[in-house]
Amino acid sequence: MPKPAPQPTTKLARAVVLISGGGSNLQAFIDQIDAGELPLDISLVVSNNGDAFGLDRAKQAGIESCVVDHRNYSSRSDFDAALIERIDASQPDIVILAGFMRILTADFVNHYENRLVNIHPSLLPKYPGTNTHQRAIDAKDQWHGASIHFVVPEVDAGPIILQGRLPINSGDTSESLQQRIHKIEHKLYPLALKWFAQGRLSINLDKVLLDNETSLEQLQTFDL
């Protein structure tokens, strides 16, 4: 019987994903992994909220998950220390914030320097914080979008990997805009993670480079 031809080996990056809620971005990662498009091994999903639907998504995909509930800790630093302990037991190459609704201490962020990424539903530096969709509508902005970035101690800041934007329609509500932006998130976040997993991202003077080139087209426009 002839031996099968050797397959190229792609090293999978080990990932821990932190969630608080629905986990639609987590689902996008799982779908892309299953399709062979994303070389990630999600070894653990952590939620600070036991009711998060994303925990069901992890279970469905056969991914280990756990709850570290911030309400069980008397201080932010105690909570973050417990998170670190749980995450580090998994020895991840990358820690992915995907709808994780807790502010993290500088100690936590520095512990995962250059391997902690987040998605934020605005065109940063516009609208850090919450309620971004309504804020963009209220400001009569022409564009709204999402940003994927490396995390630094300042909240919703840090070197941007990718941004996606779409025009705000006159009839848009916060909900309709959120739904459309989610579609962008589900396309761009797996792509950014793929680049990370392939070792193609670097940071130089707060700017993210792809393949050491300065020409990465960070802002993509969508018509969704």
Main-chain phi, psi angles of 129, to 5 degrees: 90, -155
Instruction: Report, in Å, the least distance between residue 53 CB and ligand GRF.
Output: 8
Q: Which stretch binds ligand GRF (CB under 6 A): 18-26, 85-93, 153-161, 203-211?
A: 18-26
Tell me the C-alpha to C-alpha distance, in Å, between residue 219 and each of 48, 108, 116, 161: 31, 28, 20, 9
- The answer to whether 166 and 180 have CB atoms below 8 angstroms apart is yes
Among positions 15, 16, 17, 23, the unique one binding ligand GRF when judged by CB under 6 A: 23
94-97 and 13-19 beta bridge pairing: parallel
48 binds ligand GRF (CB under 6 A): no
99 binds ligand GRF (CB under 6 A): yes
Which residue is at the shortest CB distance from ligand GRF? 99
List the catalytic residue out of 70, 111, 120, 182.
Answer: 120
Q: Which stretch binds ligand GRF (CB under 6 A): 5-13, 23-31, 123-131, 153-161?
A: 23-31
Among positions 21, 159, 164, 190, the unique one binding ligand GRF when judged by CB under 6 A: 21
Q: What angle do CA 170, 164, 108 make, to 5 degrees?
A: 120
Instruction: Identify the helix (H) or strand (E) that includes residue 13.
Output: strand 13-19
- Spatial CA neighbour of 11 closest among 43, 38, 39: 39
185 binds ligand GRF (CB under 6 A): yes
94-97 and 65-67 beta bridge pairing: unpaired
Q: Distance (Å, rounded) from C-alpha 1 to C-alpha 21?
A: 51
Q: Which stretch binds ligand GRF (CB under 6 A): 78-86, 113-121, 164-172, 199-207?
A: 113-121
Instruction: Report, in Å, the least distance between residue 210 CB and ligand GRF.
Output: 21
Instruction: Report, in Å, the least distance between residue 131 CB and ligand GRF.
Output: 12
Q: Which residues bind ligand GRF (CB under 6 A)?
A: 19, 21-25, 54, 98-99, 119-121, 146, 182, 185
